[in-house]
Structure 1
Amino acid sequence: MVESRLIQGRYELLDRIGRGGMGEVWRARDTSLGRQVAVKCLKPMGPRHEHSYLRVLRERFRREARVAAALQHRGITVVHDFGESDGVLFLVMELLDGRNLSELMDDNRRYPLPVPELVDIAEQVAAALDYTHRQGVVHRDLKPANVMRLADGGVKICDFGIARLGDMGYGSASSLSSRLTGTGIAMGTPHYMSPEQIGGGQVDQRSDLYSLGCVLYELATGAPPFDMDDAWAVLVGHRDRAPRPPRELCPELPAPLEGIILDLLAKDPDDRPPDAADLHARLLALGPAAHAGTLPRPLPGIAPRPPRASVRLPDPPRLPGWARNMTTGSKATGPGPRPVLPPDPVVSLTGAWTGVAAGALTGPPAKGGAGGRSAVVELPSPEVLTRLAGRHQEALRLGRLGRWAEAGEAHRGVAAERELILGPDHPDTLASRYEAAFTLSRQGRTGEALREYARAAAGRERALGPDHPDTLAARQETAYVLGQLGKHVEAHQVYVAVLAARERTMGPDHPDTLRCRHNLAFNLGRLGRPEEAYGMARDVAAARARVLGASHPDTLVTRYEVGYALGRLGRWTDALRTYHEVAAARQRVLGAEHPDTLAARYEAGICLGRLGRSGEALKLFRELVDERTQAQGPDHPDTLRARHCLGVNLGRLGRWEEALAEARDVCALREGLLGADHPETLVSRREIAVGLGWLGRWKDALVLYREVAQARQRVLGADHPDALTSRNDEAHCLEQLGRSTEAVELYRQVAAVRRARAGRGQPHGG
């Protein structure tokens, strides 16, 4: 996999000691310190991967390194270094001398481990988990392959690759990590997943305790608690079935130890031990009882007994859509292929996740069937599901290309088919509706987008629950669209509710929680509460810098918002400094021509103009027009924004003929590109009126001011801040024409509307 045998000029790769789906682990020599280490490498990232995928992959790997490196405990694998070399991400760890528990079970030919050895392993793992949980870290994928038994008898937990990374399902549209894994995928390995992981519920330290219970059950009996080859059956077992008592499979196991294992496997997290410290104390208290049932190792030539639990599946379960094509993954099992069994016909979707589609698929009930169990709905064929998944991905690709109308049509088509065969509230159906709403928002069809987001949020609440990450993502997008429609008070209420749910279920520093706080800060600014907006944005920027890094794009987005809030507070010098810093950081991270880098420079130009430094602003905007024309094209909205600001600064320098010509040109382009009533077109038309006024042509200016005011009233509403500003412009123009009576009456009307708006808690606007 790795072309060079030398990583970052320091780590010499010697031989491969492990391989997984995402990369390899090598024994290597640290040439600087002369010691042997283990180097985990991710597969080379070639041009076939999109930029957003690579960025999220790097971020996920970096998080793993930061989480693991921060843990210092004898029961945790030590991380020495991490980085990227020639496109290969690498993690340098201590080289362990031992076997993981999966290999240990293979060595023991699938016989249960001796009780003293089992208890010793359990005590050490519990102590290590107690430490990690006190550091705020949940492993989320504890399994035999991730626990090492060292030659000296020590035990170490390895691979914190998904620790504390949060849910990776479809979140808000800006969540790039959602595109890596698909809709609502729960991270973990089926044989060791807790019921709350399977159901998409809140995952905390008690989920690790459940996984440890699965591991101990396997060490005590020779097989996991639900040892079946079909992933659906395994997930059903974890969620709905009590495990077979381990002493039925291994009578020699001490009863107190069996009690501990069964307590760890409780379905309800509240019924498990409260924390790893409590578990550790209970294991230590076993004392002599832990040695009463020591089991012999198998004699040579005797075939091992497979202690497989005989589990009858419950009535048709309702399992998440992400489980449909899931394999059982890697559990502690001996070498050699295992037969792939067809899905159990009992495991089919029914009830809430098929909805009205059930009748369409099963037909009318048989005579005399009233009062009996509901009919079982067979899943659509894998070919149909695969085709729909492919169309969904193609629609996402169209969106990435900016072809939003085509993407929207595709998503709506997939949503209609998924609703027919899976039901209206199936997560896959709702994922398509969510994406369709996103395309509507990007097309400026905000009213339609609001309806679709609300529909997706309601469906997800019914199917997944009010606090599920996907439900919260849809509600958060609903708030964003409300803000686009100028309904900032309603948006604020939704943001506050979603933030409370995210903090309760994910914690204050989860990236999705911070994204919601960022949006709330943005909306506070639009509510005319700049002090609160500034304070919240500043706090979110600090939290994102701590969690993600000072140069992470999300951190820089929030620092950008800090600059905006400073401008609203009139602190233009501070805002200018902030935008300069953001632009410099984005240039390092994203490149000089990246749209986000140019956006920060654009805002710096705004600040220069506000500070009366119009000559510098004019120079900056000329550069931006050239750069954006080259990078995005002459008709791109961002290019036209730079040209608009260039014209404004020409006017500030008294060059009104040039300013008027620039405003007319930009207005014509915007009208052809965006439409006559688009807000940006209206801004340009107003700028033409400003230029006419400065040139003394007040009659012509009045005509344009009235056109802009009427259009804004028609599009935004009579009490929208921009509509009120336009009516004030109209009144000012009347004053200049000597029509003072009409001007005073218009000023009075605007003041009355603003007072009424303030009484309803709406922002005043400018």
Structure 2
Amino acid sequence: MADTRLIQSRYRLLDLIGRGGMGEVWRARDESLGRLVAVKCLKPMGPQHDQAFTRVLRERFRREARVAASLQHRGITVVHDFGEHEGVLYLVMELLDGHNLSQLLEGNQQRPLPVEQVVDIAEQVADALGHTHRQGIVHRDLKPANIMRLTDGTVKICDFGIARLGHDIGVTSRLTTAGIAMGTPHYMSPEQIGGKEVDHRSDLYSLGCVLYEIATGVPPFDLDDAWAVLVGHRDTQPEPLRTHRAELPGFFDRVVLDLLAKAPDERPADAGDLRRRIVLGRTGEQPVTSLAYPSAALTGGHLAPPPAALRPTPERPTSERQEPDRPAPDRPNLELPAWAGNMTSGHKATGSLNRGIHLPDPAAGLTGRWTTATSTATAPQPGADGSTGLPHTRPAATPGLLAELAGRHSSGIDLGRLGRWEEAGDVHRAVAARRESVLGPDHPDTLASRYEVGFTLSRTGRAADALRAFGQVAAGRERTLGPDHPQTLAARQETAYVLGQLGRHFEAHQVYAAVLAARERSMGPDHPDTLRCRHNLAFNLSRLGRPEESWQLARQVADDRARLLGATHPDTLATRYEVAYTLGRLGRWAEALETYQDVARARAAALGADHPDTLAARYETGISLGRLGRSAEALELYRGLVADRTRVGGPSDAETLRARHGLGVNLGRMGHWEEALTEAREVCAIREGTLGPDHPDTVISRREVAVALGWLGRWTDALTAYRQVAEARGRVLGPDHPETLAARHDEAHCLDRLGRTEEAAGLYRTLAAHRAQNALPPH
């Protein structure tokens, strides 16, 4: 719709507020009454869409209008009008000034909301739900995105698109039959999941899930596989909230756990009862007794659901590659509705997945790198006659030929140890082709060579090719050795690793989950490969935007590795490094600094001062110092690090340039902008010559050049640099990527400083429209 379109000669659409898969929300002006309103429009469906599906969507939209219009309460969005204009259904609502709870969590860097705010939200939503339920209406889709907190503190429930009216059972049945999921998995009640009739107590359960998440930062069953989430709701007791966040009041912990009772009869009787318990708890008038079940602290049991997904493994030599992921166990025959089998997990309030290229903070570097294992090969070792002792699928070749191929295979591994990955790949490809010709494609020796080919591809930046190679090896090993064989698992784990390289962290997470489950069953929790998989799980959780869980898991793995391997073992220190990284992600920079310093000292003693891992820990120490405002110390650290990196790797080495970038950033923080500009320009020129103009590192350096020019008041030059940054990011990331939009915003700022206000205003309007198109509808 055009910005100036007039609906029914009354509602003039002004600005796009948000867009979802099925509709748009506009800020509009009611020309008759002279007030601003929000207009929600159902997106027209073309002839390519299923007509039954379209009818259901339109019916849901009409239902939302009818239900919301029947509710008059300060905690429920007011509906002014509803109709159809030129084939488009529209709903006119009050214009709200605020953010939904999902946006509040994201704005709080995915940390839980303040305790007082959480309790206040709980009380207000309970009050609004009480009114809704007294009108015979069940919302059926309560989630953070459907609850708004306005700037004045008022909380409102929105989006009654799948609400059930007491007299509307027939419509509910038709909606369910159409195959459109009735709710969002992370917030659905057990009875809703089971396809049973629901009443107001289902909304109370969903509210419990919402309160759990805004109070702790994670939903009660924080799993990325929809099926695992549904089973968690049905069968698993949630952990008490205070195990995640100790400062939560005891009464609130008990209230939320009661809301999450599996049986509706064990939950609070109604929303009014819930609100009374919250009020009494806030005033401390009387203790609130749990209605549902004893907490873990009382029973001594561990109530957390078992992990359902794993994370990707780090770069590591062959023998350390963990046993391949094994497929997830068959799903049991659960009492779940047919639509659940194809259901996606939906969107939680936090932890959104970014599968694109991420440009790091210019002040930050490559942090939390995946652990590098130290052993050499998982391939079966040849015996005296050159064979592996495993059955051949073809007649055996001569012992001399097998011995020769085994020797060449080992030579390829040695080349990889020396970092000569291209040469190693050539050797392994030749050996793989020869082994396939004499032994067959599924022989373990052939698959071992194919495995090494995949590994060299992953180390030379050809992740997509590596993914195909490891997938073929995993399939071949499963046919020959079985799904649970260590070598099959190793190939699957490598599949997960390259999925991570490709930014497909969600898929990698699922693969690692299966691997971890297999390893824990077959090897036990303390086996080195099991611990490595848990380490990788922690890493991937961080990349999925779940730093709190990542930190908790990494800390557990570090403790286990210290117990089994020793406090200064490289694997222990690798996990402690990950602990420090997640602390930084959580904004706990003082703790991150202390941990990085400890890791750097321990690595220097165990590995040597010039070891890459020691230098990496020193780099991260500098990042932490800068984040804590201790730029003078960071500057001194980076000067020494640049000298050491130059001596070890040379002036054009990527890590030398990264250290120089950190040096330049801290020069700027100290106000030494001329020096910072010189440093940034030199680093940018080297990176452009070695990596190319559009490489993320080059673009980051060019942005640092622009920042320095701006601080020096050279706005014309800064404008040119910022435009180059925006163009590069647009080519690589796309015009609507947040990093591209940020560069365009910098460009607009330069125009403004140059007095070119009309151009600046036009660019700001364009950026606002782009952001609005990608925002979630607030209603």
TM-score scaled by structure 2? 0.49
Bigger radius of gyration among the two:
1
TM-score scaled by structure 1? 0.50
Structure of greater relative contact order (alpha carbons < 8 Å, 6+ residues apart): 2
